[in-house]
Amino acid sequence: MTTTDATGTRPAEPAADEASAPRLGLVAVRAVPTRLSDRLGMSGEPHADALRAFRAARHEFIAGSRIDMGALAADLGVDRTSLFRWVGNRDALLSEVLWSLAIPTLDRADHPELHGPARLVELLSAFVDALIDADYFRTFLTREPARALRLLTTADSEIQRRLRVVIETAIDEEAVRGTYAPPLPTADLAYLLARIAESFIYADLITGDEPDAAKARDAFALVLGR
């Protein structure tokens, strides 16, 4: 099965070569590294076994299957101890799989030719829309709602911290250009925008409402003053 990212196209493989890699998502990985992201080559040479296990896990995830550490170890021809040594526990692996799919999605959502609030609204809205439309992502949310919310939305999660870095980076770039004057400290505004994104992406899990990218866009535009 051909793997796809949240926008329906094949995602870039994490690798040591960052010359042609997406920009915002990798800035966030550098700001919020993990042991596994380091082993996948985000800050040096990748660990071959960790990368092999990661790619197999991501293939299963995009296929809509549950990542099972025992089954993954068996498929790789190793024991669970070796697998855990390579990639850490299941939460660590899931988090990096999820972020690896966010990287190309963010890259496609960003339009640096836009400026000020227009760029920020488009970046966030397109990202929300892509996640709402990604079937394999919705399958994961439905199958493991509590784990998904913990990995994706809590302040301690690498994913939410990285998303906030992405938003902060985009805000700072527009402020430096002189095209946007944030109404709040950048970190506070990024946190608010991340929470708005989450409230619409995961609305079905949080309130029972349908996820709605159009409402998210309206909320972003209101906060950002577009």
Q: Is 18 exposed, middle or buried (0-12, 13-18, 19+ CB in 10 A)?
A: middle
Contact 136, 64 (CB under 8 A): yes
To 5 degrees, how large is the angle CA 14–CA 16–CA 20?
Answer: 75
Amino acid occupying residue 130: A
Chain segment 47-80, per-residue pLDDT in tens:
999 999 999 999 999 999 999 999 999 999 999 9
Contact 190, 164 (CB under 8 A): yes
Give the DSSP letter string of 59-102.
HHHHTT----HHHHHHHHTS-HHHHHHHH-SHHHHHHHHHHHHH
Identify the weakest region by mean pLDDT among 42-46, 55-59, 146-150, 214-218.
42-46
Give per-residue burial for 183-220: e unless 16+ CB within 10 Å, then b.
eeebeebbbebbebbbbbbbbebeeeeebbbebbbebb
Average pLDDT over residues 168-191: 97
Phi first, then psi: what are they for 182, rounded to 5°? Answer: -60, 135
Contact 57, 67 (CB under 8 A): yes
Helix (H) or strand (E) holding 164: helix 158-177
Chain segment 76-104, per-residue pLDDT in tens:
999 999 999 999 999 999 999 999 999 99
pLDDT at 13: 40
Percent of the chain at pLDDT above 90? 86
pLDDT at 66: 98
Contact 30, 42 (CB under 8 A): yes
Going from the C-alpha of 88 to that of each of 37, 84, 128, 214, 217, the distances in angstroms are 11, 4, 29, 38, 37
Average pLDDT over residues 134-157: 96
pLDDT at 226: 73
Average pLDDT over residues 149-163: 95
Average pLDDT over residues 175-202: 98
Rounded Cα distance between 75 and 79, Å, is: 10
pLDDT at 71: 98
Residue 42 confidence class, pLDDT cut points 50, 70, 90: confident
Indicate the DSSP class of residue 107: H
Rounded Cα distance between 174 and 166, Å, is: 13
Contact 14, 97 (CB under 8 A): no
Q: Which of 189, 140, 34, 119 is nearest to 149 (CA)?
A: 140
